[in-house]
Amino acid sequence: MVDWEKGNVQPFKKKFCDDSLAENNLKKNLRIALVGNPNSGKSTVFNALTGLNQKIANFPGVTVDKKTGTGTLIDNDGKKNEAEFIDLPGIYSLYPKSPDEEIPFRILCDPNNELHPDIVILIADGTNLKRNLFLCSQVIDLKIPVVLVINMMDMMRYKGIAVDYEAISQKLGVPVVPMNARKGEGLAELKNALTQALSVSEKEFLDIRTFAPEVVDGIISTVNVSSNYDAFLVANNLHIITNFEIQQHKKDKIKELCVQHHFDAQKMQARESLERYKKISELMSESVSQVSALRKSYTHAIDNVLTHRVFGYLIFLVILFLIFQSIFAFAAYPMNLIDSGFAWLSSQVKDALPAGLLNDLIVNGILAGLNGIVVFIPQIALLFFFIAILEDTGYMARASFIMDKLMRRFGLNGKSVIPLMSGVACAVPAIMSTRTIQNWKERIITILVTPLMSCSARLPVYTLLISLIIPNKYVYGINEQGLVLMFMYLIGFAAAIGSAWVLKKIIRMKERSYFMMELPLYRVPRWSTIGLHIIEKVKVFLFDAGKVIISISIILWVMSSFAPGDRFKMIEEKYHQPQFATMSQQDIAKEIKSEKLQSSYAGIMGRVIEPVIKPLGFDWKIGIALVTSFAAREVFVGTMSTIYSVGDQGATKLTVREKMQNEINQDTGAPRYTFAVGLSLMLFYAFAMQCMSTVAVVFRETKHIRWPLIQFLYMFALAYVSSLVAYQLLKP
């Protein structure tokens, strides 16, 4: 009698079933879920139990990752058992308030869920038992076997908290294991407790049936639930239960039942919370004592400095500067190494394979795409090194605390500062770092506006264009070119903040969101946890975002390597004619490459979009660069130099900058790259979403195609309109 919905197993399985877990089902491994409040040390226990045997996958439709892992349990007879562990997102109760919090609810409360555990390890922060036991008592009342871990023994000793574990165990009817997970203390005891034949506690912690006997009984006879409390939760959370989980007609029946017996979900939930806390207070008064008076803790002293009105901001600024410097400056060395490594590999492959389409696909499609993915790793690793430290020490919550009011005006969160600043180096790691923002609306807005910050890939574009349109002059001792460059950075920042403000007004969220969060005690960071965190982030990027990036890279390669009909053949034949005989082989190859690009599908697209971009002051050559630089903005420079190598005749060895400078606008007879065109083009690059890696990572982080699409469109509109206005106002 343990299914929500027995007759409807198939479609449900299809939706949530994970292949690896299905395999494990056959082997009949124990499935053990880790459940606990945020900051309870849940991930530390998970890491200790599984080590490096971890796997990250997706839960459909939410932003949290599904972390599973395997570990070996040895029972008293020395028999080894493989167990499958799953680390569930941190929650405070079984009443979900966001899509992420619905995951533990569905898994724990629906006995038919593919991931429904055999055992729950409930991790409780021992320094904060009252609030942690609240969730614990709820899970116990689901009648799932529970092992309660009381974690952070070291901090409990520091705070002078003494706990009678035996008494708690008796009162709750579950085994209790004291742990200091950071040091691995208590791990053996936990593993041992897990191997014991676990049974559920006979008595309920809270006799929930008395709250609404008719409703509870009615639900039990309609769907199969694991306990009275589970039935009560079904009634309370009916609005989020899908038709896969409980069929519509049964939901209707439950709804009717609730109406008939005047079941007020909010009142019931409030009453439950009050009575639960009352019982927990009784339990705590009998089994927990604070032997020494709470001394003025070091956390309090550190907070006096870190949330100080002057030092707080100064220190935060220094930390930001350090992060910014490292991803901007230090990451450059490994990134150059990766780039030259791939350049070497490309030239090796190019020479080793016979010339032709396959060679070109591998070198310019696949290897170029791979290079584009791998090159992000140093920045991601560095940024997450810092973020993991900030999170693990407890500082991140303080940064949010002091910055929140400022950022909230723009629909952002105190924690949005770090992604926004990192966005100046690269939007990809920056967007991945928005996970720390719990508030869903503020996280989405941060993700949507971060790519407007001027990233390092825009730098080569800006540099080239600024050198074309701005004289290298000094005004009052200030370099004009440098001034314009700074202006481009400021305009990116202003656009990000402004868009956030507008998005705040537009985006409506179904759920009410809360800022409420714990300011955890300061802790020394754990290097192993930080290492695992970095590995996890890099893996997610490589395998999830990487797929999208390489696909787009190949599509772009196809577009610039193929032309309709026999155009390419005609170009080749043209250069075999006698008038080109005087040119060197190298120059001919260059010219052919350029002409091929111009007549390829990408070239055609450049011409097709010309009428659309003409009001911005762009011609079809710029159009081609816009198309190819969708892969990454810096491709603009390369494409430009390929396009402008035509007509060179090898006579003049001009740089791409000089060639662009000499380009004449056919309509006006004046130079092509006027101030108006240059500025318009820079504005376009400042605002348009021309980075497939960002698109891929936004999709990965929001798990919905809607957000990258909205982002692409609004950024494109912003780019188009501002370029249009700038060109039309400034054109001669």
- Which residue's CB is nearer to other proteins, number 274 or number 494? 274
Shortest separation between residue 295's beta carbon and other proteins, angstroms = 14
**Distance of alpha carbon 288 from alpha carbon 93, whole angstroms:** 22
**Distance of alpha carbon 81 from alpha carbon 84, whole angstroms:** 10
Binding of other proteins by 308 (CB under 8 A): yes
Shortest separation between residue 524's beta carbon and other proteins, angstroms = 19
Q: Binder to other proteins among 204, 214, 303, 663 (CB under 8 A)?
A: 303
Binding of other proteins by 474 (CB under 8 A): no
Binding of other proteins by 514 (CB under 8 A): yes
Binding of other proteins by 221 (CB under 8 A): no
Q: Kindly state the DSSP code that residue 524 receives in the 8-state scheme.
A: P
Q: What's the half-sphere exposure (Cβ side, CA atoms, 13 Å) at 86?
A: 28
String of DSSP letters for 20-57: HHHHHHHHT-EEEEEEE-TTSSHHHHHHHHHTT-EEEE
Shortest separation between residue 303's beta carbon and other proteins, angstroms = 6
Shortest separation between residue 175's beta carbon and other proteins, angstroms = 24
- Mutual angle of helices 458-469 and 635-643, in 10-degree steps: 50
**Distance of alpha carbon 496 from alpha carbon 500, whole angstroms:** 6
User: What are 571's two structure tokens?
Assistant: 């170009």
Binding of other proteins by 522 (CB under 8 A): no
- Using CB under 8 A as the binding rule, the residues of this chain from 143 to 162 that contact other proteins are none
**Distance of alpha carbon 114 from alpha carbon 135, whole angstroms:** 22
Binding of other proteins by 293 (CB under 8 A): no
Shortest separation between residue 229's beta carbon and other proteins, angstroms = 16
Shortest separation between residue 9's beta carbon and other proteins, angstroms = 33
Stretch that binds other proteins, among 299-307, 350-358, 442-450, 616-624 (CB under 8 A): 299-307
- Which residue's CB is nearer to other proteins, number 22 or number 294? 294
331: Cβ contacts below 8 Å, ≥ 6 apart? 378, 379, 382, 425
Binding of other proteins by 463 (CB under 8 A): no
Secondary structure of 429-459 as H, E, C letters: HHHHHHHHCCCHHHHHHHHHHHHHCCCCCHH
Burial 133-143 (b: 16+ CB within 10 A, else e): bbbbbbbbbbb
Stretch that binds other proteins, among 199-207, 454-462, 507-515, 669-677 (CB under 8 A): 507-515
**Distance of alpha carbon 489 from alpha carbon 458, whole angstroms:** 10
Binding of other proteins by 512 (CB under 8 A): yes
84: Cβ contacts below 8 Å, ≥ 6 apart? 21, 24, 29, 30, 31, 32, 68, 69, 70
**Distance of alpha carbon 685 from alpha carbon 710, whole angstroms:** 18
Binding of other proteins by 670 (CB under 8 A): no
- Which residue's CB is nearer to other proteins, number 39 or number 112? 39
Binding of other proteins by 277 (CB under 8 A): yes
- Which residue's CB is nearer to other proteins, number 174 or number 306? 306
Stretch that binds other proteins, among 121-129, 416-424, 573-581, 616-624 (CB under 8 A): 121-129
String of DSSP letters for 61-99: TSSSEEEEEEEEEE-TT--EEEEEEEEPPP-SSSS--SH
Q: Binder to other proteins among 270, 301, 612, 705 (CB under 8 A)?
A: 270
- Which residue's CB is nearer to other proteins, number 278 or number 569? 278
Residues 476-505, one symbol each (x = binds other proteins by CB under 8 A, - = not), give ------------------------------
Stretch that binds other proteins, among 76-84, 263-271, 461-469, 671-679 (CB under 8 A): 263-271
Q: Binder to other proteins among 2, 167, 517, 654 (CB under 8 A)?
A: 517
**Distance of alpha carbon 429 from alpha carbon 422, whole angstroms:** 7
Binding of other proteins by 523 (CB under 8 A): no
Coil, strand or helix: which one is 633?
coil
Shortest separation between residue 628's beta carbon and other proteins, angstroms = 46
Binding of other proteins by 266 (CB under 8 A): yes
Binding of other proteins by 567 (CB under 8 A): no
Q: Binder to other proteins among 404, 536, 572, 663 (CB under 8 A)?
A: 404
Binding of other proteins by 515 (CB under 8 A): yes
Shortest separation between residue 37's beta carbon and other proteins, angstroms = 10
Q: Binder to other proteins among 169, 192, 201, 307 (CB under 8 A)?
A: 307
User: What are 503's two structure tokens?
Assistant: 């998005």
Pairing state of beta strands 119-125 and 146-151? Answer: parallel
Pairing state of beta strands 474-475 and 176-178? Answer: unpaired
What is the amino acid identity at position 110? Answer: D
Stretch that binds other proteins, among 216-224, 394-402, 687-695, 708-716 (CB under 8 A): 394-402
Binding of other proteins by 8 (CB under 8 A): no
Stretch that binds other proteins, among 105-113, 300-308, 446-454, 662-670 (CB under 8 A): 300-308
For residues 693 and 632, the answer to whether their CB atoms sit within 8 Å is: yes
* Nearest partner of 470 among 452, 488, 457, judged by Cα: 488
How far from 705 is each of 137, 191, 592, 695, CA to CA, in Å? Answer: 39, 42, 39, 10
- Which residue's CB is nearer to other proteins, number 95 or number 489? 95
- Using CB under 8 A as the binding rule, the residues of this chain from 64 to 103 that contact other proteins are 92-93, 95, 97
What is the amino acid identity at position 708? Answer: P
Shortest separation between residue 289's beta carbon and other proteins, angstroms = 12
Q: How many CB atoms lie within 10 A of CB 77?
A: 6
Binding of other proteins by 238 (CB under 8 A): no
Binding of other proteins by 309 (CB under 8 A): yes
Residue numbers at the binding site for other proteins (CB under 8 A): 92-93, 95, 97, 127-131, 134, 266, 269-270, 273-274, 277, 299-300, 303, 307-309, 312-313, 397, 401-402, 404-406, 408, 512, 514-520
